[in-house]
Copies of this chain bind each other. A is one copy, B any other.
Amino acid sequence: MTTDPHPWAADLTLLHAQVWTRLVRGVGDRHAPARHPTLATVTPGGLPDLRTVVLRAAESGAGTLDIHTDLRSAKVAALRHCPQVALHVWDASAQLQTRIAATVDILTGAAVAALWARVPQTSQAGYGTQPEPGTPIAHALDYAKTPDPASFAVLRCTVHSIDALHLGPRHRRARFDRSDNWHGQWLSP
């Protein structure tokens, strides 16, 4: 007889708590799967797009997630067109896929000055690339990284719903909604 390594997967409340435990872990531990979610957006042309991002904050009480980005990136242009996003984390050790639907507020300038001051100097160089991200260049290294606080943006994602899929001996899938106070509902996987 084997002990179930993931007893939390059988209970809606524990499953929801586990999702947030692992999101919070991603903020503090650069090796945790939730450190690098995949973020999906819809372009102004109506097409899906997605890329790896770094999770910078996770507040389970408020149900918010923070991502930092260059204000001139294509994802910001997409978000100005459609602020709805989806986030995805696959956590192999937990055998847990987390899919999150959220609405993004783009915070810049004075609103994020305190956060900018806490970004390590080496990381600040990631905001302010010249020419701006996505610009065609003749050679691969024809760009410079110059820290520019005016290019720094925080994408604050207010979570609306979470779809959690646990791949165990039998799969379990649940959906959690803010409108339902995160009570949870099992779904056929």
- Measured CB to CB, the residues of A under 8 A from B are 10, 36, 38, 40-42, 46-52, 82, 84-86, 88, 90, 97, 99, 101, 129-143, 170, 172-174, 185-189
Contact = CB atoms under 8 A, between A and B. Distances in A.
B188 A52 contact: no
Contacts of A36: 90
Binding site secondary structure of chain A: strand
A188 B140 CA distance: 8
B86 A187 contact: no
Contacts of A86: 40, 47-50
A46 to B, nearest CB: 7
Contact of A142 (B42, B50, B186): B186
Contacts of A136: 185-187
Contact of A48 (B85, B97, B131, B186): B85
